[in-house]
Chain A
Amino acid sequence: MPTELLLALSGLLAGAFGAMLGLGGGILIVPILTLGFGVPLTEAVGTSLICVVATSTGAAAINVRAGRADVRLGITLGAGTVVGAVMGGILAGFMPDRVLAALFAALLAYTAVTMLRGIFTPAADATDGPPVDPTVPDGPGAPGYRGRRLPWAIGGSVIGGNASGLLGVGGGIVTVPLVHLVMGAPLRVSVATSNFMTGMTAAAGAYTYLFRGDVDTRLTAPVVLGVAAGAALGAILSGRVNTRLLSGLFVLVVVYVAARMVLRAVGS
């Protein structure tokens, strides 16, 4: 099978998996490219960031129109994620491959723990309290969470952006808990808002890779096309699959990939 077709299929899988589990797909694309296709880590991160922009902008269009994303909060926190993403992109240019692999393994481990916790705890939406409208402008009647611990949230979003720019992921693994747990926004709003921010964050991080020459267009094109198609397919399938079973399968994959990344970090 031609390499391009395999790359497109990998993108399709990552996009579909990501959409069904509410992830950007970057957490799968980087390991697929590095471990499956032997692509250098910095090049895989650049490719992944562009894929994350594609999936985020597509999903954000739906979330914003449906009134699920808090655009005002997303743009405000975007200031932090953008700064973090640029710093991450620059840092990645100086970091040895092994250090990046170790950091990615740590991120995968954190993701696995977070998803496991999600599998064994009841849905948080049930405890979200009365419904809030994230589309209400600032001022009287605006959601109360919007101003809560905002300086902390902006500081935390710099870290989320840094993880995105450095490791080629969407950063949702940091920003969703930040908006949900630190600011107190409902989970549904947190996920949609984080997804909205991801496009800005990944784009800011991607420029460093694009202009530094860390993106191979012939390799990136089939992955982006596959991811875009996969994200659409995943959105269609998401209501029909057992999310808990899918999350369990995903955790197994993530643990395996984390172990491979650790081996790569120690040079085996």
Chain B
Amino acid sequence: MDGRASQPPLARWIATVLRLGTLAAVAVIAVGFVWATIAGQPRGGTRPVIEEISAGGGDGVTAVGLLALTLLPILMLCLAAAAFRRAGEPRMVVTTLGVGALIVASLVAAAVIGPSI
């Protein structure tokens, strides 16, 4: 198999999701920040991101943007795994999904026990 044939989609997929994802997340953060500032929303200080999102308003939108930004690497790894699978690289599929699972596990663990650690 000519493995090189797999590289263009892999690079293109990863670059596209990272570029567009970063732009979208930063745009959401900007919208939330401007909204909270214009609306004169009182500062909530530091609180867990889920509470911030539940509270809504501009700060809630900002929190969605911040969380979306940190979710980008997981999305990128999912696409990379799909590209490796398409290219017939089973070892890289397993490695990529393993790293993705580690990040998801850290997200779930932080969401479940985060406030207590």
Q: A117 on the interface (CB 8 Å rule)?
A: no
**Main secondary structure on chain B at its contact with chain A?**
helix
Residues of B within 8 A of A228 (CB): 22, 26
CB distance from B57 to the nearest CB of A (A): 10
Beyond A136-B3, A137-B3, A218-B36, whether A210 also contacts B29 by CB under 8 A is no
Contact A65 B15 (CB under 8 A): yes
CB distance from A112 to the nearest CB of B (A): 30
Residues of B within 8 A of A72 (CB): 92
Contact A211 B15 (CB under 8 A): no
Within 8 A of B (CB), among A125-171: 135-139
Residues of A within 8 A of B48 (CB): 210-213
Within 8 A of B (CB), among A174-223: 199-200, 202-204, 206-208, 210-218, 220-222
Q: A57 on the interface (CB 8 Å rule)?
A: yes
Contact A43 B46 (CB under 8 A): yes
Contact A135 B7 (CB under 8 A): yes
Residues of B within 8 A of A54 (CB): 22, 25-26, 69
Interface 1/0s, chain B 43-65, versus A by CB < 8 A? 11111111110000001001101
Among A25-33, A79-87, A240-248, A258-266, which stretch is in contact with chain B?
A79-87
Complex Cα gap A93–B48 (Å): 14
Complex Cα gap A217–B74 (Å): 22
Chain B residue at minimum C-beta to C-beta distance from A50 = B66
Contact B29 A225 (CB under 8 A): yes
Residues of A within 8 A of B67 (CB): 210
Contact A50 B92 (CB under 8 A): no
Chain B residue at minimum C-beta to C-beta distance from A81 = B99
Complex Cα gap A60–B96 (Å): 17
Interface 1/0s, chain B 94-117, versus A by CB < 8 A? 011011001100110111001101
Beyond A93-B117, A213-B48, whether A79 also contacts B99 by CB under 8 A is yes
Chain B residue at minimum C-beta to C-beta distance from A2 = B37
Contact B70 A138 (CB under 8 A): no
Beyond A54-B26, A215-B46, whether A75 also contacts B96 by CB under 8 A is yes
Complex Cα gap A188–B15 (Å): 18
Chain B residue at minimum C-beta to C-beta distance from A224 = B29
Q: B82 on the interface (CB 8 Å rule)?
A: no
The 5 A-B residue pairs whose C-beta atoms are closest, nearest first, are A211-B114, A137-B3, A61-B18, A65-B15, A221-B33
A sample of 12 more A-B contacts (CB under 8 A), given A93-B117, A207-B114, A211-B48, is: A58-B19, A60-B14, A64-B18, A136-B7, A137-B6, A203-B72, A207-B111, A213-B47, A215-B49, A216-B45, A217-B63, A225-B33
